[in-house]
Structure 1
Amino acid sequence: MASGIFALLDDIAALMDDVAAMSKIAAKKTAGILGDDLAVNAEKASGFVSSRELPVLWAITKGSFLNKLIILPVTFLLTAFIPWVINIILILGGLYLAYEGAEKIFEYFFPHPTAKKVALLEELSEEEILALEKGKIKSAIVTDFILSVEIIIIALGTVVDQELSMQIMVVSVIALIATVGVYGIVALIVRMDEAGYKLIQWSAGRNNLQYKLGTLLVKALPRVIQTLAVVGTIALLFVSGGIFAHQFPALHHYADFLPGWVFEFLFGFIVGLVCVFLVMAFKKIVKKESVMH
């Protein structure tokens, strides 16, 4: 009896070793997009009232967990029965990411008239703050869903020749890292200033290491957020361009003089701009029809 239990424990230990080894390989394959995921989500989780940062981040994290619970079983089922649908989902997701990235760049150079008015408001009502939060949370969860699909499919591709049980465990580990790891780091970033204030308070006004570190954290946060906004936008275009380049590899032959990363960025940006103009045209048509009626 005892020998049977020990044999079972040996099998479990060996399985866990295999899962750890395969998870390490999958993590390396998804490292790039996990970095993009971090930049995008840190940018989306910032810009809230200080007291609302953690509640908003928790709402996005819960949405991310729900995304994974939906994506994981659906991905395994689609891969087993109708694998071609995965490519369509990736392309649609890529279009959304390209649109988001290109729209931010377009808005920077050609800001919407109402955007300027909102930016000049020094105070917002509680209802306006809650509406703003709700919109940003929804946008963050949708973007997380698309990035999660990409991460999970890439991770699955590294273990596609393994047994189903191994696939489920390895991909689940990567999905957990993509949520807990990414949003844990995001939480640290958006609370940098609070940590800085605490260090300044503990220094009791003395110009010591605590005071200097606290001051550095407080002053660094706005620059970090600005940097993440830029990096997050670029990451959206890189991820979308990477999806398109992978799905349509023949197109790279027409621009083989460009490095791969430049081609992917331009691909994502051009497709994104096309999507922006199509959406703008659609909104104008709908607005014109509503005026006529």
Structure 2
Amino acid sequence: MSGLLALLDDVAAIAKAAAAQIDDIAAQSAKVGAKVAGTVLDDAAKAGAKSAGVVIDDAAVTPKYVHGLPAARELPIVMRIARGSFFNKLVILLPIALLLNAFAPFLLPPLLMLGGAYLCFEGAEKILHAVKGGSHGHSEDHGLDAASLEEKRVAGAVKTDFILSAEIMTIALSAIEADSIWIEGLVLAMVAVGITVLIYGSVAILVKADDVGLKLAEVGRLSATRAFGRGIVKAMPSVMTAISVIGTAAMLWVGGSIIVHGLEAFQIGIPGHQIHDIAHAAGAALPAMEGAVTWFVTAFLDGVFGLAIGLALIPVVSGVLLPLARALGLGGKGETGEDGH
């Protein structure tokens, strides 16, 4: 009997030790899981913030694709473009980005600089058109019925989104600080989903805001409600203009910054050093706001550098790349940027 009790006591001791091990494993797993989650969320936040310029531009650009179409089709069109954006980011670009990062990471800096150059070109072109009083119209849409026009607009928007999404994913990948390809993939997926929801949720609000304002102005029970509705309708053109201006500035800032840092990776540090020295001198002159002033001057000079790069690229694109694309049957319109923005 005493031997049985001793055996049971040993079994109980083993079970207790096993339970302690399980608790330790669970605690370690929770700690590692929390660390991984923190890394993922932190990297996703950094990557999303670094992609801000493209995000703002995408949100500013997309509403034009519903212009001139029936109001009832505005939200369905935005949803179709959003689905295309999810496909672009998650199905096509995410695997390509992970494979490049794993097997050909040396290609990422030049690809990132290429995306930065595209941002600079787009921003400079918008400024040039604003100065010249030009506009990107849809004159080629005349004669199309509503269904054909919708299909054309959605296809054009998804194509433009692919370019912008490629920039977002490349910029995001460069901001991720993770050793595991699985964490990289998870962060990129979170950035892709979060940014797409942010962009097209914002677009949905923007394209319907004037309709909501008009409805409030018409059926509001209180005079304050009706006045608020009229205020929304009146404000929307200015809001869209402000978003476009902010988007253009952000494109030049982000694009210029990408190229400056890319040049440093290729041992060309003069632009970066000069911007750094000027920004820190400006910050030192106002010690009470040194951090804010340094950041602002850095962003401003990055934007000026980006504008110079973009202006230099415009004749190259319009005089060389677009004619070459037409000769190869790859498309291209009469003006630079007409395909995309």
State the match for 1:191 in structure 2. Answer: 208
Deviation of 1:216 (Å): 2.5
Deviation of 1:134 (Å): 4.3
> CA 1:189–1:138 in structure 2 vs 1: closer, same or farther (change >3 Å)?
same
**One of 247, 250, 253 as aligned partner of 1:238:** 253
**2:144 matches 1:126:** yes
State the match for 1:44 in structure 2. Answer: 61
Distance 1:111 1:218 in 2: 25
Q: State whether residues 89 and 165 of structure 2, in contact with CA within 8 Å, keep that contact through their aligned partners in structure 1.
A: no
User: What whole-Å deviation, never above 9, does each CA across 1:243-274 have from its counterpart, x for those lacking one?
Assistant: 10111130222453253212210121111111
> Could you say which structure has the greater relative contact order, defined with CA pairs below 8 angstroms and 6 or more residues apart?
1
State the match for 1:177 in structure 2. Answer: 194
**One of 58, 62, 69 as aligned partner of 2:79:** 58
- Gaps of at least 5 residues in structure 1 are none
Distance 2:181 2:168 in 1: 23
Aligned letter for 1:269? L
State the match for 1:18 in structure 2. Answer: 35
State the match for 1:89 in structure 2. Answer: 111
User: What whole-Å deviation, never above 9, does each CA across 1:131-158 have from its counterpart, x for those lacking one?
Assistant: 556444432432232223212332x2x2
Distance 1:285 1:145 in 2: 24
- The 3-state SS of whatever aligns with 1:126 is coil
How many correspondences in the alignment? 276
Which is greater in Rg?
A: 2
Distance 1:23 1:272 in 2: 34
State the match for 1:74 in structure 2. Answer: 96
Distance 2:215 2:251 in 1: 34
State the match for 2:318 in structure 1. Answer: 280
State the match for 1:146 in structure 2. Answer: 167
Deviation of 1:177 (Å): 1.1
**2:219 matches 1:219:** no
User: What whole-Å deviation, never above 9, does each CA across 1:104-161 have from its counterpart, x for those lacking one?
Assistant: 111122355xx59x58x8x95435955556444432432232223212332x2x22x3
- Gaps of at least 5 residues in structure 2 are 1-18, 280-296, 328-341
Aligned letter for 1:270? A
What RMSD, in angstroms, separates the aligned Cα atoms of the two structures? 3.4
Q: State whether residues 87 and 247 of structure 1, in contact with CA within 8 Å, keep that contact through their aligned partners in structure 2.
A: yes
Q: State whether residues 41 and 186 of structure 1, in contact with CA within 8 Å, keep that contact through their aligned partners in structure 2.
A: no
Q: State whether residues 98 and 236 of structure 1, in contact with CA within 8 Å, keep that contact through their aligned partners in structure 2.
A: yes
- The 3-state SS of whatever aligns with 2:197 is helix
Distance 2:320 2:103 in 1: 36
> CA 1:68–1:133 in structure 2 vs 1: closer, same or farther (change >3 Å)?
closer
Distance 1:9 1:195 in 2: 51
Distance 1:10 1:246 in 2: 41
> CA 1:60–1:197 in structure 2 vs 1: closer, same or farther (change >3 Å)?
same
Deviation of 1:68 (Å): 1.7
Distance 1:282 1:43 in 2: 28
Give TM-score, length-normalised by structure 1: 0.78
**One of 300, 303, 306 as aligned partner of 1:262:** 300
- The 3-state SS of whatever aligns with 2:278 is coil
> CA 1:80–1:67 in structure 2 vs 1: closer, same or farther (change >3 Å)?
same
Aligned letter for 1:75? A
Q: State whether residues 56 and 243 of structure 2, in contact with CA within 8 Å, keep that contact through their aligned partners in structure 1.
A: yes
Q: State whether residues 46 and 53 of structure 1, in contact with CA within 8 Å, keep that contact through their aligned partners in structure 2.
A: no
Aligned letter for 2:160? S
User: What whole-Å deviation, never above 9, does each CA across 1:3-37 have from its counterpart, x for those lacking one?
Assistant: 89999987876565334312331244234334323
Identity of aligned residues (%): 28
**One of 207, 215, 232 as aligned partner of 2:223:** 207
Q: State whether residues 110 and 262 of structure 2, in contact with CA within 8 Å, keep that contact through their aligned partners in structure 1.
A: no
Distance 1:72 1:151 in 2: 11
Q: State whether residues 39 and 228 of structure 1, in contact with CA within 8 Å, keep that contact through their aligned partners in structure 2.
A: yes
Distance 2:314 2:97 in 1: 29
User: What whole-Å deviation, never above 9, does each CA across 1:186-244 have from its counterpart, x for those lacking one?
Assistant: 3222221122233334425x414x32332232222111111111111112211211110
Q: State whether residues 213 and 231 of structure 2, in contact with CA within 8 Å, keep that contact through their aligned partners in structure 1.
A: yes
Aligned letter for 2:164? T
